[in-house]
Structure 1
Amino acid sequence: MTSRHLLLVSLLGLVACRDATGKQEEVAVRAAPVAPTTNPTTSIPAAGSAPTPAAGSGSAAKVKDPQKGDKIDNEWVPAEFKTGAARWKDTGVYLDGKPVAFLTWGELPITLKPTWLKDKVSANKRPGSTDLGWRWGQQRFYRFIDYLKALGIDINKVKEMHVYGPRFSESVIASRADLQSPRANDFMFRFGGNVNGKAIPRVPQGFGGGRPPDKISAVMIYMEKKPPTLDSEGFMLDGVPQEGVPYYGEPIRGGVRVYLDNRLAAIIKRQELDPTAAKTAANGELEWSLGAFLAAQGVDTSKVVELWAIRDDKRADKFPASDISAMTFQASSQAKGGVLLTDKLIRANAIALHTRALEPADMPITTADDD
């Protein structure tokens, strides 16, 4: 490009920077998108200083969960579980308003034996064959009258037995005459997962009153107390609606149940343990004396022969009675809804105390049909 051409381009650029009047256009300064402040929310660290930890970093202070607060997962109860049918999440068995057991397979009385009924179960069907895809198997059930006997309850003294469903209107009322009748042999229950899950009733035609539920929420037994009556609205006692457990109140939820010869003797609840009665274990967690806890709950262990830790619905670990006085337990979040026994941290979701030594024949067994 020649010098003449360069001069022409420069003159054109100068003209473009002027307005119609020939004056030079001033450059305007736009306002900053954020107003200046002497207290900035973030700042650049001075040379040699440590940077401020970013939000979410490991060194940042923990923020409370807006729902759970300081509580850990197994302590926090969502609001939807505090009202309605969810209040009956744990299937309690109450005698005259006092809890005596919970209806789970792993916590059944050791003396209770199943009644086996013929049942269709699925089976492999070979391609191109005439296989039916099912076979005859056995379904385990438990008779209610056998269950009451295993709990030490005389059915001849029972006024009424109420089997609650998810809705009060779906409940079974069994009188003393019903429990003494031949049909009582077919009044049974099983569990949804055979050896786990929610209890499901089996009510023979024409047995008792009320409407059979599809699953059991609670069992009420009345020997000395006056039984409530059932109408279309629910259970009533002397004209007062019974929204909870009659003669008791709110149904029990959670905790590690302790049984003495098949009957409920105590419940360990983490939030009710006295931290001043604990000491710090080697792993830094609080631990309590099991013997002291049982004594404080009025549990007489003088005749106990052995203790069993129930885990995953099975009697998993056995301890001699001589270990109880020195045995400790932890109730940390690592226990997964249970407690951790001894310094070996053996998990127990329930504890069974027995005044006789159990034999292998006493232990419940599972079969191929339970899978």
Structure 2
Amino acid sequence: MRVVLVTYGSRGDVEPMTGLAPRLQALGAEVRLCAPPDFAELLDSAGVALTPVGWPIRALATGAVPGKEQAGLSDIAAELTAMAYEAVAGVAEGCAAVVATGSFPAVAGARAAAEKLGVPYVFASFSPCYLPSPHHPPLPRPGQVIPAGVTGNRGLWDLHAEHMNAQLGETINTHRTSIGLPPVDGIRDHVFTDHPFLAADPVLGPWQETSELDVAQTGAWIRPDGRPLPADLEAFLAAGAEPVYVGFGSMRIRGANAQEVSRAVIEAVRTQGRRVLLGSGWADLALIDDRDDCFVVGEVNQQALFRRVAAVVHHGGAGTTTTAARAGAPQVIVPQVADQPYWAGRVTELGIGTGHDGPTPAADSLSSALRIALAPETGARAAAVAETVRTDGAEQAAKLLLDMIGRSG
């Protein structure tokens, strides 16, 4: 039995799939993952076969794909839908299921491939706020204008669906027609389906049941990471009190360059009397002087690292939020895009940290946020919530998926 997993996006869109894949393999399934070519090394280390999809995601995000520097959304979406379709269609024939997440055009292409091949399809979301519900409003879409009279959540979700149809409907339906599939009216609901998986922790990102969707909340899909921390990082950690970690993953910070952000975050942490551990990431955080209270790391085992820091300052990706919460590390979230404001709100509501006011950290604003995160009561609350974070989400999802496959067969 073969299961095809599909995602197109940054590390936060790929990492959970490397948590699900080994669980499926342990239950006897063969797994192939369609993902951006950037992640070949990650998937190789996880023992998961890769089928590359589309352009390297970092090159696309930074405008470095030749010929795509000035491409519009519809052009990118059309190509990405087709590329995802071709990749999935090439490996999914005869498979037991296709599970897809990430960029909407890519997921639409994956859904079309599953449909064309007659293969069961599951959409997965890593955050509750992406899924339509009367209990919360939708995330704003780029270019969407909300009429002044529309305030209720149901009305906002209706507008969200209309906007997605206007923005991407023609593109996706043109592709569907080209491969012999009929066009669909509501592309969002067609791609999401009425029975999606929600790979988010029930305490950190709870789902309130609705009559519209039958959501299967499994818990976050966590890949166990047993890598040791680098020797030089271990030496830095051992040389003094717990540092504050600052890293923004696959995000570039809006409104400032790398040097400005580096100076702001280092000064903010120093103001709190703490040492600084910078995660360089796509924001290119770097040292601003030669003082020995600051250290820079690249990609490391955050599961191990976050248990040894005083607080974590980050962008608010679902995976980083969950990793920090599981480690019991107080958080400051500096949200940039997508679901990141949602996670900032949840961290604040739970009392395990706070959201930063705005996407661009300044020394004074971040220092104020850090005072909240470093307060003893925040640390105690973070430690308590850490005990509730589920670690079996990927296992639950794998079992649920295989049960669904068995029933459909």
More strand by share: 1
TM-score (norm 1): 0.24
TM-score between the two structures when normalised by the length of structure 2: 0.23
